[in-house]
Homo-oligomer: A and B are copies of this chain.
Amino acid sequence: MAATIKDVARACGVHVSTVSRTFSAPHLVNPATRSRVLAAADDLGYRPNRAARALTTGRTFNMGLIVADIANPFFPPLIKAAQAQARGRDYHVFVADTDEDPRVEEELIRTFTKQVDGVLLCSPRLSNKMIERLAEDVPFVVVNRRIRGMPAVLMNVAQGAKLALEHLVGLGHRRIALVSGPIGSWTSNEMQGAAAEAPGLDLVFFGPNQPTESGGLAVAADVAACGATAVLAYNDLVALGLIEGLSEMGIGVPDQISVIGFDDILPGRLNRPKLTTVAMPAVAAGRMAVDLLLQSGGEGATVTLDTALIVRESTGRAQS
């Protein structure tokens, strides 16, 4: 079995509290004693048990990070940024995937409670009410959701959607399909809100949809049938699925239909045609989320990050 603090104490004839102090408050112990303790600890391969320590101190130096779908290339850069930022603050990040299922999401949060000092909740599918209730047990930072009084990192989706629509209008499109995401997605709502405000457009809504390639594939036929000359898709995966579906039906992108996604994931850059998309600041969001969690005395600071339209090859002039 692994050595405990008692073994070390016995090995060098001091009280456990002295060993404890050697690790958590070295300045309080005599340098000579300290080095004896360290030698014994090293000898026995002793490492403080972080879980036991957390029991008294209330701090674990871990944080949880919950995402809806780890297979979505949007998340890995965010996760890596959060991990790197946390590491610089002596924290570790435990990641978990909810499979888009709110029940799993809730269970994971409950599991994290007391094992981490806080949870970064990315693109949650739970209701605001539920999140507020769970927040009584563990601090949150929410990414891509606005909840009253809770620290949040938001991306300016509305602005991005506006830029995208202006781009399409500039290319002569008027009838535009809006392919939304899953129920409970704040991003999806923001997009719809922004689109509804844009003047002089003939919008067709499709949703809810799975936020994946299959989701895009599944609505491709409907989108083609609705007579739209352009599509604004919930995210890049959906956009890629759409393009795939349309091309299977012999419909060319961007010649016959223009497609814009959101996120700016890597596969979109490698796709042919290369995807026009609204870039989301995933890396900055990961970093900010960590900082907010560590700073927040529970205060509900909200950070909004800008988005940017990246025009590539999947959009073109509307066919007359």
Contacts and interface: CB of A to CB of B under 8 A. Distances in A.
Interface of A: 2, 45, 47, 49-52, 54-55, 60, 62, 70-71, 73, 76-77, 79-80, 83-84, 87, 92-97, 99, 104, 107-108, 110-111, 113-115, 136-137, 213, 240, 244, 266-267, 270-272
Contacts of A84: 99
Contacts of A62: 111, 115
Nearest to A237: B266
B96 A92 contact: yes
B71 A77 contact: yes
Given A51-B114, A136-B2, A83 B95 contact: no
A92 B76 contact: no
Contacts of A267: 266-267, 270
Contacts of A2: 113-114, 136-137
A70 B70 contact: yes
A50 B111 contact: yes
A131 to B, nearest CB: 15
Contact of A51 (B55, B76, B99): B55
Contact of A71 (B52, B76, B213, B244): B76
A277 to B, nearest CB: 15
8 contacts: A45-B136, A45-B137, A47-B113, A50-B111, A52-B114, A70-B76, A79-B97, A83-B96
A97 B71 contact: no
Contact of A95 (B54, B95, B113): B95
A185 to B, nearest CB: 20
A114 B48 CA distance: 10
Contacts of A272: 272
Given A70-B70, A213-B266, A244-B270, A50 B115 contact: yes
Nearest to A55: B52
A111 B97 contact: no
A72 to B, nearest CB: 8
A76 B1 CA distance: 34
